Structure 1
Amino acid sequence: MQVQAEKRYYTPAEYLALEEAADYKNEYRAGEIVPRTGSGVNHNRILLNLSSHLNFAWRGTDYEPFSSDVRLWIPRHRILPILI
């Protein structure tokens, strides 16, 4: 019989401290740290096109698009994703 390890939950502050030293990107989801996968050429093309469109469309508004490596806290879902 295999014994499963108890799941560890982290605070947002612990997650951010761990991310500073991490070699890869992770997301914070309700206390869990979830590894992110890398993206390919097609993903980057889509990201560039979408970011360019939003940047033009939102000019003169209070909105600001970001294309990558920005952490956002979504309190309702207790998620701290990295946008890529």
Structure 2
Amino acid sequence: MLSTQYHAYFSPEEYLEIEENNPIKHEYRQGLIYAMAGASKAHVIITLNISILLNTHLEESDCLVYSTDMKVRVEGVNDFYYPDVAVTCDERDRNSDEKFIRYACLIVEVLSPKTEDFDREGKFNDYKTLETLSEYVLISQDQMRVECFRRDASGNWIAQTYEQGEEISFQSINFSCPIASLYRKVSLLT
């Protein structure tokens, strides 16, 4: 959810220090800091629903589910993002005291009109550089539509779209549920 540019170039260390002492969340992209925009009710409810479902599914595993306030470090392209939901099953993240994770296997973004293009293109291209990322999920907040991009054994990204009445599946964490579960208590436009 990139909003406005905060200032000129900052190092990752300067960004982390600024972020530690600032009540407003910012994302970091190749030296530039961007303030995060607010979210709609539907966006917040969908994020909460998917977070609860994933956390419940993974409660007996070593995986951790993070929602909205955990940064993901995309070191290969010098970025820090706040995805709506991120899952890591990597011991290096579990045993780290850093204020971000590096080894997400699943990242979920709930689409907003102002950020959809960036989530689909720029952010996805950056996330693809994470070696541990197996799935990238985009959830519409206007209609029951979930797009899941999976990395196959050859490193290619394969898209699968789920719509109303279907069961969604995230293979990276062996999770499935009716798509309607993500939209519980959400008033859809269509």
1:1-84 to 2 correspondences below 5 Å: 8-84=8-84
Q: Give secondary structure in 1 for the equivalent of 2:66.
A: coil
Q: Give secondary structure in 1 for the equivalent of 2:33.
A: strand
Flag structure 2 segments of 5+ consecutive residues without an equivalent. 1-6, 85-190
Structure with the higher fraction of residues in helix conformation: 1
Flag structure 1 segments of 5+ consecutive residues without an equivalent. 1-6
Runs of 4 or more above 6 Å deviation:
none
Amino acid at match of 2:38: G
- Name the CA distance, whole Å, in 2 between partners of 1:23 and 1:68: 14
Identical columns (%): 31
Answer 1 or 2: higher relative contact order, Cα 8 Å, separation at least 6.
1
- Name the CA distance, whole Å, in 2 between partners of 1:11 and 1:67: 25
How many corresponding residue pairs? 78
What is the CA-CA distance between 1:22 and the residue it aligns to? 2.7
Question: Deviations along 1:24-70, whole A, 9 cap, x unmatched?
Answer: 21101121111210112111100111001111222332321112311
What is the CA-CA distance between 1:8 and the residue it aligns to? 2.6
Structure with the higher fraction of residues in strand conformation: 2
Amino acid at match of 1:22: N
Amino acid at match of 1:47: T
